[in-house]
């Protein structure tokens, strides 16, 4: 058959028949046009990768509500689905292990004492476990661009979604320059005569290079970084047990420091202040939700990653901090330093107290890698959030520019531009500037996690009201509604208790400066929320459960088939031996 006739027959099969008629019945589809061109190679292929990816924004039904339009656009985002199961697994296990654990836990120990640290981290840990389970259920059901930052608009209210999305974007926007400076400062551990600004440039260029490789570059880098961090923490746990037992010849330590200077440093207020430090240490746990939209198979990889958060909380945080409380007294003056390098890390102090040489330098390298990992994650998180905001018409449309390689290009460039604030490291005013930048995002994670749990509750309520059930969900939260309620309650309690600490800080006199440095996030969120209400004149505070869209964005819309598959998987699991069922539940 002649090629011209073949093209004509193929053209009659496309859905847009009206355009065929408009052109006299002669139509050659895009597939044929592309086939007629030679494939791009070399420099031409590289340049073409930066062009905007094709989107279907023009085909939206104008009668859709704002939440429905956002659901459609984020469900059909051209982000690259290149993250494999191993990437998601390591992002879940080691993605948030950074300075919050390695360095920030030192100030937490000095403020709350060993018992205060354990109480705060265990409580925050249970909340994180429940939150990630809630997020896992939503992200597996709706692996959309922006994930939880768009769930707020979908399940609660557009104004709250706007406030939470910009809150989350700001959190990561300010983290990059902070982490780049912190990474440069770690070099001073070996040579404090070097200007840290020189290393800021090196690390800044490294972050740029990683993120222009796209989400695959981010995934591979985080995979390596996470393995290093996990090995370091596991190695410290083994070493800590040996040190506590007196295995290095320094004598048995046991619970000596729990007796003198004591278990608590500043009573109940000290424990409350550690809550925020613990929240900072867990920040980034929710990144697996953002990664869902770029996962090759979210249905398989996300449930496993969600379950593994339990092990991270137990092994990496609770056990290591229990050993820290045994090995380092809370009144050690080295914990009170303002430095961000290994000299302020309780992990390094514990190793030094044990008289082991060489390992402090190794730990400093791990701290530097952890800092760079968080900085790298900040570009990933903020650029994807800005892209989701643009799709939601809640940010300039230019932020929705996603190139053919699946990179939210403008969002990445904007984040890297804000990251250039890291060069303030050479300024004598750097501490003052960075303190206020950090204040902008101080409680951001708490609000993000609380909203995730609220979205999960609203989703479950919508299922019930609309006559649907959890039997159509591929993955369900293990603690379920009770876990979501606990997560929401604890997040709310932390925000309320932090108000008390901000007004009456531990060991300081009340001041406006101290209050806003500890509580600035709250008025900023209120301004975003009220401002959006005034701008849109939408005075509804939440969607009714019967109005919530619980279908758009789901990868499996054949609900009967999904129910059958879920029932078969559960039946197969029940037939397995106990040890396999136990492993599947936790891993």
Residues 383-398: tens digit of each pLDDT:
888 888 887 778 888 8
In the chain, % of residues over pLDDT 70:
81
The candidate with the shortest Cα–Cα distance to 210, out of 198, 223, 199, is 223
Collect all residues with Cβ–Cβ distance below 8 Å to 16 and sequence separation of at least 6. none
Q: Summarize pLDDT for 21-79 with one digit per residue, the tens.
A: 334 443 334 434 444 556 666 666 666 666 676 655 445 556 666 556 666 666 566 66
Mean pLDDT score of the chain? 79
Q: What is the pLDDT of residue 5?
A: 40
Q: Which two tokens stand for residue 325?
A: 């409380």
> What is the pLDDT averaged over residues 256-269?
86
Question: Residue ranges of the alpha helices (H) in 358-429?
Answer: 359-391, 409-419
The candidate with the shortest Cα–Cα distance to 309, out of 83, 87, 85, 94, is 94
> What is the pLDDT averaged over residues 197-221?
83
> What is the pLDDT averaged over residues 318-322?
91
> What is the pLDDT averaged over residues 338-354?
75
Of the spans 433-447, 512-526, 554-568, which averages the highest pLDDT? 512-526
Q: Of 377 and 460, which is predicted with more confidence? A: 460
C-alpha–C-alpha distance, residues 155 and 548, integer Å: 6
Q: How confident is the model at residue 327 (pLDDT cuts 50, 70, 90)?
A: very high
Among 45-54, 63-72, 157-166, 513-522, which stretch is predicted with the lowest mean pLDDT?
A: 63-72
Task: Examine the pLDDT at 12 and tell me if it is beyond 60.
Answer: no
Q: Of 125 and 184, which is predicted with more confidence? A: 125
Q: Domain map of the chain by residue range?
A: 3-38, 89-555, 557-587
CB atoms inside a 10 Å sphere around CB 435: 11
Q: Summarize pLDDT for 68-125 with one digit per residue, the tens.
A: 666 666 656 666 666 777 777 777 666 667 777 888 788 889 889 999 999 999 998 8
Q: What is the pLDDT of residue 89?
A: 73
Residue 508: left if φ>0, alpha if ψ -120 to 50, beta else—which one?
Answer: beta
Q: Of 107 and 466, which is predicted with more confidence? A: 466
Q: What is the pLDDT of residue 503?
A: 86
Q: Of 445 and 149, which is predicted with more confidence? A: 445
Q: Summarize pLDDT for 467-505 with one digit per residue, the tens.
A: 998 888 888 999 999 999 999 999 998 888 888 888 887
Q: What is the pLDDT of residue 218?
A: 81
The candidate with the shortest Cα–Cα distance to 229, out of 312, 124, 289, 305, is 312
- Per-residue buried b or exposed e for 94-112, using 16+ beta carbons within 10 Å of the residue's own CB: bbbbbbbbbbbbbbbbbbb
Task: Examine the pLDDT at 576 and tell me if it is beyond 80.
Answer: yes
Q: What is the pLDDT of residue 574?
A: 82
Q: How far is CA 501 from the centre of its chain?
A: 26
The candidate with the shortest Cα–Cα distance to 330, out of 582, 112, 138, 520, is 112
C-alpha–C-alpha distance, residues 372 and 94, integer Å: 13
Task: Examine the pLDDT at 378 and tell me if it is beyond 50.
Answer: yes
The answer to whether residues 482 and 447 touch, using CB atoms and an 8 Å cutoff, is no
Task: Report domain 89-555's class.
Answer: mainly alpha
> What is the pLDDT averaged over residues 123-135?
91
Residue 355: left if φ>0, alpha if ψ -120 to 50, beta else—which one?
Answer: left
Residue in this structure with the two tokens 């092994």, named with its chain if needed: 315
Task: Examine the pLDDT at 10 and tell me if it is beyond 50.
Answer: no
C-alpha separations of 496 from 25, 158, 446, 490, 492 in Å: 67, 24, 11, 10, 6
The candidate with the shortest Cα–Cα distance to 72, out of 543, 553, 554, is 553
Q: Of 401 and 24, which is predicted with more confidence? A: 401
C-alpha–C-alpha distance, residues 549 and 554, integer Å: 11
> What is the pLDDT averaged over residues 200-209?
87
Collect all residues with Cβ–Cβ distance below 8 Å to 134 and sequence separation of at least 6. 452, 453, 455, 456, 477, 483, 484, 487
DSSP class per residue in 21-74: HHTTT----HHHHHHTSPPP-HHHHHHHTTSBPP--GGG--TTS-HHHHHHHHH
Q: Which two tokens stand for residue 491?
A: 């997040």
Task: Examine the pLDDT at 143 and tell me if it is beyond 70.
Answer: yes
> What is the pLDDT averaged over residues 186-205?
79
C-alpha–C-alpha distance, residues 57 and 375, integer Å: 32
Q: How confident is the model at residue 19 (pLDDT cuts 50, 70, 90)?
A: very low
> What is the pLDDT averaged over residues 501-527?
83
C-alpha–C-alpha distance, residues 393 and 399, integer Å: 10
Strands (E), 414-520: none
Q: How far is CA 123 from the centre of its chain?
A: 19
C-alpha–C-alpha distance, residues 51 and 2, integer Å: 34
Task: Examine the pLDDT at 461 and tell me if it is beyond 90.
Answer: yes
Q: How confident is the model at residue 526 (pLDDT cuts 50, 70, 90)?
A: very high
Task: Examine the pLDDT at 507 and tell me if it is beyond 50.
Answer: yes
Q: What is the pLDDT of residue 70?
A: 60
C-alpha–C-alpha distance, residues 194 and 185, integer Å: 10
Task: Examine the pLDDT at 247 and tell me if it is beyond 50.
Answer: yes
Q: Of 344 and 485, which is predicted with more confidence? A: 485
Q: What is the pLDDT of residue 322?
A: 92
Q: Return the H-helix or E-strand segment holding 349.
A: helix 346-353
- Per-residue buried b or exposed e for 39-71, using 16+ beta carbons within 10 Å of the residue's own CB: eeeeeeeeeebeeebeeeeeeeeeeeebbbbbb
DSSP-based three-state secondary structure for 358: coil
| The model's pTM | 0.83
Q: What is the pLDDT of residue 210?
A: 86
Q: Of 488 and 440, which is predicted with more confidence? A: 488
Q: What is the pLDDT of residue 344?
A: 73
Q: What is the pLDDT of residue 65?
A: 60
C-alpha–C-alpha distance, residues 266 and 270, integer Å: 5
């Amino acid at each position: 058959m002649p090629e011209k006739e073949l093209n004509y027959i193929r053209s009659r099969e496309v859905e847009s028949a009206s355009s065929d008629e408009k052109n006299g019945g002669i139509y050659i589809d895009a597939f044929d046009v592309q086939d007629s061109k030679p494939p791009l190679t070399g420099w031409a292929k590289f340049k073409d990768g930066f062009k905007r990816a094709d989107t279907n924004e023009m085909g939206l039904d104008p009668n859709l509500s704002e939440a429905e339009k956002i659901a459609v656009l984020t469900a059909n985002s051209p982000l690259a689905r290149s993250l494999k199961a191993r990437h998601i697994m390591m992002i879940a296990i080691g993605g948030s292990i950074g300075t919050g654990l390695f360095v920030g836990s030192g100030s937490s120990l000095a403020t709350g004492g060993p018992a205060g640290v354990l109480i705060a981290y265990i409580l925050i840990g249970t909340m994180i476990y429940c939150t990630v389970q809630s997020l896992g259920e939503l992200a597996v059901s709706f692996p959309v661009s922006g994930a939880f930052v768009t769930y707020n608009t979908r399940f609660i209210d557009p104004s709250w979604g706007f406030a939470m999305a910009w809150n989350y974007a700001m959190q990561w926007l300010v983290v990059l320059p902070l982490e780049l400076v912190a990474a440069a400062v770690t070099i001073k551990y070996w040579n404090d005569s070097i200007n840290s600004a020189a290393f800021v440039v090196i690390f800044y260029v490294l972050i740029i290079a990683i993120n222009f490789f796209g989400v695959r570059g981010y995934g591979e880098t985080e995979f390596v970084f996470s393995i290093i961090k996990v090995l370091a923490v596991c190695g410290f746990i083994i070493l800590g047990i040996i040190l506590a037992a007196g295995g290095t010849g320094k004598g048995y330590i046991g619970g000596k420091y729990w007796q003198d200077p004591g278990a608590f440093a500043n009573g109940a207020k000290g424990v409350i202040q550690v809550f925020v430090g613990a929240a900072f240490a867990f920040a980034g746990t929710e990144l697996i939700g953002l990664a869902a939209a770029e996962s090759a198979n979210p249905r398989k990889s996300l449930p496993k990653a969600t379950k593994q958060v339990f092990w991270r909380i137990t092994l990496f945080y609770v056990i290591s901090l229990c050993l820290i409380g045994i090995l380092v007294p809370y009144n050690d003056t080295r914990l009170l330093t303002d430095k961000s390098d290994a000299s302020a890390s309780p992990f390094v102090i514990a190793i030094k107290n044990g008289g082991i040489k060489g390992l402090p330098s190794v730990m400093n390298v791990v701290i530097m890698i952890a800092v760079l990992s968080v900085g790298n994650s900040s570009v990933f998180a903020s650029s994807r959030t800005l892209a989701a905001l643009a799709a939601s018409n809640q940010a300039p449309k230019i932020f929705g520019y996603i190139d053919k390689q699946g990179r939210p290009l403008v969002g990445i460039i904007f984040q890297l531009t804000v990251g250039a604030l890291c060069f303030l490291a050479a300024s004598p005013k750097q501490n003052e500037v960075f303190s206020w930048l950090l204040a902008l995002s101080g409680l951001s994670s708490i609000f993000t996690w609380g909203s995730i749990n609220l979205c999960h509750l609203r989703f479950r309520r919508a299922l019930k009201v609309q006559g649907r059930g959890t039997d159509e969900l591929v993955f369900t939260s293990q603690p379920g509604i009770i876990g979501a309620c606990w997560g929401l309650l604890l997040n709310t309690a932390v925000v309320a208790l932090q108000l008390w600490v901000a007004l009456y800080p531990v060991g300081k006199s009340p001041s406006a400066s101290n209050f806003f440095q500890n509580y600035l996030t709250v008025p900023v969120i209120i301004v975003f929320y009220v401002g959006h209400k005034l701008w849109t004149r939408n005075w509804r505070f939440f969607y009714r459960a019967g109005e919530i869209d619980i279908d758009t964005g789901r990868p499996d819309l054949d609900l009967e088939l999904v129910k059958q598959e879920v029932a078969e998987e559960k039946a197969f699991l029940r037939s397995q031996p106990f040890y396999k069922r136990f492993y599947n539940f936790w891993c």
